[in-house]
Structure 1
Amino acid sequence: MSLFPLSIMKGSQFHHQPKPMNASLSSDERGKRILIDPDRISKLPDKVLVKILATMSTEDVIKTSALSKRWKSVWKQVPFLHFDMLVDINKTPLAPESITQVINRHNGKLEGCSIIHYAQLCQDSLLGTDSVLETWIELLTLKKQTKAIALSNRHGNGTETNRLLLSVNLFSHPRLKTVFLYRYNLKTANAFNNCYNLKILKLEKIYAEVNVFNRIIASCPSLKVLVLHRVVWRIKKACLKIHSNSLKLLHVSCTGVDSIEVYALLLDIFSIYCTARESNFVIKSPRLLLNNGPLDLAEFNMRYNISRQAQERKCIAHEFVISRDANYLKRLRSLSVFVNLMNSKQVELFRQILVAWNGILGNLNILFEEEGESSIGGTQNKKWEEGKVFPNADFRVETVCMLNFSGSNKAQFALASRFITQGTVTKKMMFMTSSFPKEVKLNTEAAVAKLMKLPKGNENLNFGYF
């Protein structure tokens, strides 16, 4: 599980595989070993050295302080810190005091910090002792003014050992933009009071009553991204209320919920899996174009209005969903998109979401933006460049449904051709004709007949209409 959206924070290399600290050797692409003079590396400017250290684990970064006097304080400027108290059994586990010391000694601009800890730190607050977790949060927000914080409790047994008690307004520092919490029992929403600052909130495996979730959401009116993944509550006959004037991405995964209300007029990306009855699910989000097909709550599915998201100056919702932090993506079975293939930015966002899927999708439903509609957010492609649509993508989908496919649209025909010839579609290519006038229907069927004659990447591919 990745812990916070470093892909959104430019310049971060947190998710790269940590490299062993070895100042004397490196290897080129062919595996040849080349000697490097460590003294030459030491002569590099601090900014360059910090970029090098940013590709390494926090443990190895701190060890560089012992290399020489030159390296003693360089590590203190790295933009991200990650601590894992549950380390390999062959190593000495991190003590809470060590983490506190490292945070205190860091003297650079700290963009984000993630901490994986054991359940005892949750129990400290229940025993009336000072909460180590709260001390860390205060250090990171008040002293370091950190933008992103992720806390992960890995070994709690039952809800009481996972109980997280935090002070009022703890997450309300104006510099703090992102909070990730994993595997806690929240009794109150006090820590989220007055959180006008938060833009991204991810709560995963969180146990709390529905009214606690409702108060948390209401206390964070500026959220752009909200993820409630595998959340649990005891009282089933309650309504989860997600009312927001700023939300761009919403993911909800829960069981046992009685009803859900979603009012989010600016929502572009929505994914859901829950056991609520469809009659008890209310959603008011016009950008999702819900009138173009039912939303099956019992199956992981996503709606994505690429056309709207591409108009954003900063596509924070898109950047999140294609990052490793959206670890729910591979569980989704159905994706519905609204896209203009004559808009280069939208085509690139579409390509990125399919590549990020990295697996087999059940259904892909495509609703094409009509010609002549707005293409704000990217320059129009006067000439369709088929070869640059989805290069080297391992994405596969069982069934593709093109809802308003136009046989005379070269871009749409090129996309369908690519899906067919590359073997992207494994079972069916479906085209909607039932609601079209007779002339349009005949034009679509003629285009599909041409597509059927193309060499298939999957010989078992079938074609159909709906």
Structure 2
Amino acid sequence: MSLFPLSILGTSQLHHQLKSMNAPLSSDARGKRILIDSIDRISKLPDDVLVKILASTSTEDAVKTGVLSTRWKNVWKQVPYLHFDMLIATLNKRGPLDPLSNHVAKSITEVIKNHNGHLMGCSIDHFSHHCQDGELETWIQLLTLQKHTKALSLFNLHVHGNGKRSNVLQLSPNTFSHPSLSTLFLHGYNLETPHAFNECNNLKILKLERIFAEVDVFNTVIASCPSLKVLVLNAMWYNDKACLKIHNNNLKVLHLDSCNVDCIDVSAALLDIFSVYYYMFDRKYNFVINAPRILFKSWTQDSRRVPFMNYNITSHAQEKENLGHEFVVSGDANYFQRLKSLKVVIDVMNSREVEMLRDILVAWHGIMEELDIIFKDNNVSKEEGESSNGGTQKKKWEETKLFPNADFGVEVLWMVNFSGSNKKQFALASRFVMQGTIMKKMMIKTSSIFAKEKLENEAAVAKLKELPKGNANLSIECF
């Protein structure tokens, strides 16, 4: 199950299997006089197994099992995740939207109240008027104060209500400051004040999508969350002449996707993953970033302004927890939707880093325009099987299929700091060539201040050119 399971609770076949276990036999079976086993074997399973089954169904179906029998009455109340979609709940019902949605809203409240124990996560897709009638705040209070929910996703459907006033997120101060709440996704709201985020030392992951506010409100929200490790900001502000300030000493992942930007000031000493969607720079801008772990600085010179990600895999892999990596490869994060370019720093002698690179490439959606790989300097004389951090290297990882996602492809691949004497680097390059992953061009930097290294690099490139190409149109060049 995903680390961020805020959108996974769709209908599965398990509930239908559960109902069909005691279904009548076919006429053919009856003709053969095969006896029906009338024992309800599923109900005899322990609670923890039944909860796992119900966790794979929709919340609506899980709640419905409560009427099957006394045995099932309270099982659904132990599922760790709840998902409510008011649009789907009202889609096939007749009548005015307001009464229907209000009925669904009351049902959501009852389900949350009746749930036993604490929740790992909950997501609610609701209509705009619930921002105003107090229902949304009731849900949040129940989920945080009573259910101690760890991950919360709130999605404003914008179906009901016109104008920005109908989407104002009117919440009490310190609404999101409960110590159990560590992940928060918000979509489609107007923030007039930052009060709901007062003293949010608990939040580690904050994703704000289509959020309208003054720049000072955003600055206060970010400053109120000093423990953030992941910040995704799809923000729109009303005042052009202001500076967005993102100063955080714990931040590992930062994604910016905004418009009408006049100034952005980023200071993040531990930042390993940094991505930008470039329509935020529609005009002249002032962009200052102090992030020593981000080694590529090319966004200030890139006239094409392609949406990109910079990822220092080597630095991130040294951390005890990989919260940032798990977030960006999670389907729920939807991180790569519009990114076109990836720049990574990697030590190929470290099997963990190679696996992390593989995770990113598999999770990428569609065709990548450009992939830049900068190889971290390492001791190429290490024995086979030994990683650069002293651990055990998986034998012959280069023989496995590095790109199992058939949809992944890259138009142009750049390799920097390439060493012709490093067998692991050559193996990685050969996988790109033979598997047909590169569509147009592979560019390898062979230049070196040492003549011997330059000759080794050029010899390695010559061998790459002799390999059978997965893509006949591939061009391999040096720079």
Listed one character per residue, the Cα deviations across residues 137-179 of structure 1 (whole Å, up to 9, x for unaligned) are 1111111111111110012543222111111111001111011
Deviation of the 1:377 alpha carbon: 6.7
1:331 is matched with 338
Q: Aligned equivalents of 2:48 and 2:297: distance in 1?
A: 52
Structure 2 distance, partners of 1:38, 1:171, is: 48
Secondary structure of residue in 1 paired with 2:281 = coil
TM-score, with structure 2 as normaliser? 0.88
Match of 1:146 among 149, 158, 167: 149
Please give the alpha-carbon distance, in whole angstroms, between the structure 2 residues aligned to 1:18 and 1:276.
Answer: 42
Aligned to 2:165: 160
Q: Please give the alpha-carbon distance, in whole angstroms, between the structure 2 residues aligned to 1:335 and 1:319.
A: 17
With over 3 angstroms needed to count, the CA separation of the structure-2 counterparts of 1:440 and 1:372, relative to structure 1, is: closer
8 A contact 1:184–1:206 mirrored in 2: yes
Structure 1 residue aligned with 2:97: none
SS at 1:60 equivalent: helix
> 1:9-36 deviations in whole A, cap 9, x for unaligned?
6xx696264215322437xxxxxx9x98
Cα distance in 2, alignment partners of residues 46 and 416 from structure 1: 50
Query: Equivalent residue for 2:135?
Result: 132
Matched, 1:48 2:49: yes
- The residue matched to 1:170 in structure 2 has which SS? coil
Query: Contact 1:342/1:380 (CA < 8 Å) preserved in 2?
Result: no
Residue 66 and residue 382 in structure 1: after superposition, are their counterparts in 2 closer, same or farther (change >3 A)?
closer
Alignment partner, residue 295 of structure 2? 289
Aligned-residue CA RMSD in angstroms?
2.4
Instruction: Report the 3-state secondary structure (helix = DSSP H, G, I; strand = E; otherwise coil) of the residue aligned with 1:427.
Output: strand
Offset of residue 392 of structure 1: 1.8
Distance in 1, Cα, partners of 2:428 & 2:405: 14
Match among 210, 217, 239 for residue 222 of structure 2: 217
Partner secondary structure for residue 240 of structure 1:
strand
TM-aligned CA distance change 1:377 to 1:250, over 3 Å = farther
- Equivalent in the alignment of 2:432: 419
Structure 1 Cα separation of the partners of residues 92 and 394 of structure 2: 60
Residue 369 (str. 1) matches residue 376 (str. 2): yes
For the pair shown, which has the larger CA radius of gyration, 1 or 2?
2
Structure 2 counterpart of 1:39:
40
Overall identity of the aligned pairs, in %: 55
How far the C-alpha of 1:120 sits from its partner, in A, is: 1.1
Counterpart amino acid of residue 92 in structure 2: N
Residues 60 and 420 of structure 1, relative CA distance in 2, 3 Å threshold:
same
Q: 2:349 corresponds to which residue?
A: 342
The answer on whether the counterparts of 1:24 and 1:37 sit within 8 Å (CA) in structure 2 is no
> CA–CA distance in 2 between the matches of 1:377 and 1:326?
30
Aligned partners of 1:266 and 1:36: how far apart in 2?
Answer: 61
Structure 1 residues 382, 51: closer, same or farther in 2, change over 3 A? closer
| Aligned equivalent of 2:255, options 237, 251, 257 | 251
* Partner Cα distance (1:294, 1:429) in 2: 24
What is the CA distance between 1:294 and its match in structure 2?
5.4
Amino acid at match of 2:450: P
Question: Is the partner of 1:286 in helix, strand or coil?
Answer: coil
Match of 1:102 among 107, 111, 132: 111
Residues matched between the structures, number: 445
The residue identity in structure 2 corresponding to 1:369 is K
| Contact kept? 1:384, 1:410, Cα under 8 Å | no
Partner residue, 2:306: 299
Alpha-carbon distance in 1 for matches of 2:327, 2:105: 30
Alpha-carbon distance in 2 for matches of 1:161, 1:36: 57
Change (3 A) 1:334 1:378: farther
Give the aligned partner of residue 32 of structure 2: none
The 1-side partners of 2:321 and 2:389 are apart by 10
Matched residues in 2 for 1:358 and 1:336: separation? 16
In the alignment, the residues of structure 1 paired with residue 42 and residue 57 of structure 2 have an alpha-carbon distance, to the nearest angstrom, of: 16
User: SS where residue 430 of structure 2 aligns?
Assistant: helix
Cα 1:328–1:187, aligned 2, differ >3 Å: closer, same or farther? same
1:269 aligns with 273
Show structure 2 runs of 5+ residues with no match. 22-28, 30-35, 94-99, 381-385
Separation of aligned partners in 2, 1:36 and 1:390: 48
Describe how 1:353-432 pairs up with structure 2 within 5 A. 353-372=360-379, 379-381=391-393, 383-388=395-400, 390-394=402-406, 395-432=408-445
- Determine if contact 1:201/1:223 at 8 Å carries over to the other structure: yes
Q: How far apart, in 1, do the equivalents of 2:55 and 2:365 lie?
A: 26
Answer with 16-25 or 255-264: which moved more.
Answer: 16-25
Give the Cα separation in 1 of the matches to 2:128 and 2:107: 17
Matched, 1:181 2:186: yes
State the shift of 1:371 in Å.
1.1
Distance 1:13 1:263, change over 3 A: closer
Deviates more, 1:188-197 or 1:427-436: 427-436
| Offset of residue 293 of structure 1 | 7.6
State the TM-score, normalized to the length of structure 1: 0.90
Asked if structure 2 preserves the Cα contact closer than 8 Å seen for 1:259 and 1:276, the reply is no
1:260 positional shift: 0.5
The match for 1:71 is: 72
Selected match of 1:172 from 156, 169, 177: 177
Which residue of the partner structure matches residue 30 of structure 1?
none
Would the alpha carbon gap of residues 84 and 439 (structure 1) be closer, same or farther in structure 2, given more than 3 Å must change?
same
